[in-house]
Amino acid sequence: MPYTLTNSSIQTVKSPDSDAKIQHDGLYEVILFNDDVNSMEHVIDSLVDVFGHPEELAVKIMIEAHRRGRAIAEVEARSLAQRHKDQLQSYGLTASIEKVE
């Protein structure tokens, strides 16, 4: 593996196979927000479709968002987090991404 994911700020790591430098800008949380529009079933189905989460995990995320107003649906690299946020929004859900500090 030529680079490592960490929770720290931008990190440059040398690949063991080359002199090329790879930059990594940390991890991001995909945040799902509660709303009064979508059914619980729709939220669960959307989480399963977008992330491939098992239904049990999707239910836990949905319940946390329902009770607390927001829930972390996933923690991942920025490009994936952005794509998944966009996919959740395409399902009519309210979502954002936040950098893990």
Domain locations in the chain as residue ranges: 30-99
Q: What is the pLDDT of residue 39?
A: 96
Q: How far is CA 38 from CA 41, 89, 100, in A?
A: 8, 12, 27
In the predicted model, is pLDDT for residue 21 greater than 60?
no
Q: How far is CA 10 from CA 15, 20, 61, 63, 78, in A?
A: 16, 16, 29, 33, 12
Question: How far is the C-alpha of 88 from the C-alpha of 53, rounded, in Å?
Answer: 13
Portion of the chain with pLDDT greater than 70, in percent:
76
* pLDDT 10s digits, 27-55: 999 999 999 999 999 999 999 999 999 99
CATH dotted code for 30-99:
3.30.1390.10
Q: What is the pLDDT of residue 78?
A: 96
